[in-house]
Structures are given as structure tokens and as C-alpha cells.
Amino acid sequence: EQAWRVWASAYLVAALAGVSLGATARRPRLTTRRVAGGTVAALAATAIVSYTVETVLVRGLVVGLVVIVVAGAAASRLLGRRARRPLIAGWIALFPVIMIIVRGFGGVAPSEWEGFFFNLIAATVGIVVSFPLGLLLAMGRRSELPAIRFASVGFIELFRGVPLVAWLIFSKFVVDLLLPPQMEIPDIIKAFLVMTFFSAAYVGEIVRGGLQGVPQGQYEAARALGLSSSRMMVLVVLPQALRSTIPAMISHFISLFKDTSLFTAIEVTDLLAAARRSASSLQYFGKDMETLLFAGLIFWAVAFSMSRWSQRLEVRLGVGER
């Protein structure tokens, strides 16, 4: 009876994804090769949905997701540049809105989040929160103040030097021993925190590499224009550094999404664990290969989509060009 929350969230994401696709994609040139490839992909997707989904209602909902994506792309094409600001605002507000849908109105507690929905939530939290924290760590590591620099270096080396699965186990079994007795934090929240810190350490190192790649002449030109250190960093240095780190950054975020399957170490049922559990049920007993293959296809589809978006963004920003 709580499935409507997941479908409502999926339709919101599909609508924004469709608008983004229409706003960023170039107008396609219809060739025989592309038409054939699209036809094969559509037939394969239809076969997968028909084989894995049994109820007519769920099939209709899946088809509705595709229709929403196409409609969003078409609407974005019609609106043109006018769709960009609402699109940015929509992506910013998406996560809070989904949390209201999931948690509000007598919703589902974090301890009950399972399956692919959990993988998406965990990856979203890790990416959205670790990115600004990583920026601060990168700038802190280059700070001239010894206290800030040593604290940033210590944080990065501490979390980067230990495997994520070890941090997840630490969050579940050790953190409670270090907290006051009256203070209780849900295991999922603690796991999200350590995953965010772990990701922020890597983001900080990626951004630091980008900062080192900015020519010294850019700093001198900014100072010659009378910019303060903060304005120089925000307006001149960081845009160039982040532009050059897009490939490495997206690769890290793809890896972080796949690492959400490690939450099974603390008894969380993610997509991979749900696939293994389904193979143990009477209905799908002995079909381990089919269930794991389906889970692997979902992971691949998300990772491939992120990679393609990264390549498109690199082309638009001219990454690697002078």
C-alpha cells in the first residue's frame, strides 16, 4: 500500500530527466543505423518488461514512465531556453520533495528502505552532500593556515585510507559505543554519514588536482583585476578546476553508486540483496542467474546513463580543448 510513494518519486524523476534530455541533447539526424538501433533497443526493453513484470498495472506504470520522459523532452524542445531555470530549480527541489513523499503523511521509516530505491537514495545523498564538502576539503588542503591545512589532510587521509565496507561496519557496531547513552542515531543515517565522508575525501583530492592544473597566470590576472581571494577562487579558479575534473568526478560518482551494494554488510536489503532474496523464494527458486542478471542490468543502465551524460557535458564545456 506504500508503493505509490515509489511510483510518484519515479514519475518526478522521469519528468525532469525528459526535460533535461530535451534541453541538452542535440537534434538527432535520423539514419538507418540509428533507427535500427533504436528499434532493437525498444524491442529488448519491451521483452525485458514483459518477462519480468507480471501484472498489467505495473506494465502500464512502466509504459507511463517512458511516455513522461518523451513528453518532457518534447516540452523542453518547444520551450527552448525558457525551460532552463525551471529545470535547475526542479532538480534542486527534487530530493526534498521525494523525502516529503516518502517520509510524510505516515510514510516509510529509513530503516525500512529497501531495493533499488535504497540504492538511489544512498547514492543521491552521497553525491549531493559530498560534493560541497569535498570542495571545502580541497581548498582547506591548499590553505595557508596550518590548522585548516592539517585538519583537511588528516580528514582526507583517514577516510580515504580505509575501505568503505569497513567504515559501514564501523558505523553500525562501533559508533554507538562512542556516543552518549541517551543519544540514538538510526543505523542508516550513520551509514549515510560515513559514506558521505568517504566520498568527500575522494572528491577533495579530485578537485585539488584540478586546482593544481589552473595556470599561475590566472591567479595573477585575477589579482591584477583587484579581486579578493574569495572572489578569485569562486569566479576564476574553481570554474576552470571543476571543468577539467568532470571525467574523474563522474567516474567517482559512478563508482559510488555501485558501492551502495556494500550496504548488505550491515544487513540492508539493496537491489543486489533483493535479487538474491527473490532467488530463494518459492516462485523464483533456482533462478539465481536471471535475478542477478536483471540486477546487473539495472546497475549498468544507471552507470551507462551517467557516463553518457558526462560525455555530453564534456563536449558542451569543451573539456580537453584550449
**At residue 170, what is the residue type?**
F
Alpha helices in the chain (DSSP H): 3-24, 32-52, 56-79, 84-103, 115-141, 146-160, 164-173, 175-178, 187-212, 216-224, 229-232, 238-244, 246-259, 271-280, 288-317
Which pLDDT value is given to residue 278? 76
Which pLDDT value is given to residue 93? 82
The length of the chain in residues reads 322
**C-alpha count within 13 angstroms, C-beta hemisphere, residue 228:** 2
65 vs 47, higher pLDDT: 65
**134 close to 199: Cβ distance less than 8 angstroms:** yes
pTM: 0.79
Q: How many CB atoms lie within 10 A of CB 280?
A: 11
**Above 60 in pLDDT, residue 27?**
no
Give the best-scoring range by mean pLDDT among 48-52, 249-253, 266-270.
Answer: 249-253
Judged by DSSP in three states, 270 sits in strand
Sign, CA dihedral 300-303-309-311, equals negative
Q: How high does pLDDT run on average in the chain? A: 80
pLDDT level of residue 198 (50, 70, 90 thresholds): very high
Q: How many CB atoms lie within 10 A of CB 233?
A: 19
Taking residues 18-27, report their average pLDDT: 69
Which pLDDT value is given to residue 319? 62
* CA torsion angle 56 58 59 62 (round to 10): 160
**197 close to 159: Cβ distance less than 8 angstroms:** yes
How far is 42 from 31, CA to CA, in rounded Å? 16
Which pLDDT value is given to residue 196? 92
**Above 60 in pLDDT, residue 103?**
yes
Taking residues 27-35, report their average pLDDT: 61
135-139, 270-274, 288-292, range with the lowest pLDDT: 288-292
**Above 70 in pLDDT, residue 194?**
yes
34-43, 110-119, 252-261, range with the lowest pLDDT: 34-43
**Per-domain residue ranges of the chain:** 1-108, 110-322
**Above 90 in pLDDT, residue 297?**
no
Taking residues 138-145, report their average pLDDT: 85
**Above 60 in pLDDT, residue 111?**
yes
How far is 142 from 134, CA to CA, in rounded Å? 13
Taking residues 288-313, report their average pLDDT: 81
Q: Return the exposure string of 42-75: e unless at least 16 CB atoms fall within 10 Å of the residue's CB, then b.
A: eeeeeeeeeeeeeeeeeeebbeebeebbeebbee
Taking residues 42-51, report their average pLDDT: 66
* CATH class (in words) of the domain with range 110-322: mainly alpha
How far is 233 from 216, CA to CA, in rounded Å? 13
**245 close to 202: Cβ distance less than 8 angstroms:** no
114 vs 151, higher pLDDT: 151
**Above 60 in pLDDT, residue 99?**
yes
* Long-range contacts of the stretch 59-66 (C-beta < 8 A, 24+): 61/7, 64/11, 65/10, 65/11, 65/14
**212 close to 196: Cβ distance less than 8 angstroms:** no
Which pLDDT value is given to residue 282? 66
- Phi, psi angles (nearest 5°) of residue 270: -90, -165
Nine-digit cell string for 231: 572572489
Taking residues 22-41, report their average pLDDT: 64
24 vs 320, higher pLDDT: 24
Spatial neighbors of 64 by CB under 8 A, at least 6 apart, are 11
% of the chain surpassing 90 pLDDT: 7
**At residue 244, what is the residue type?**
S
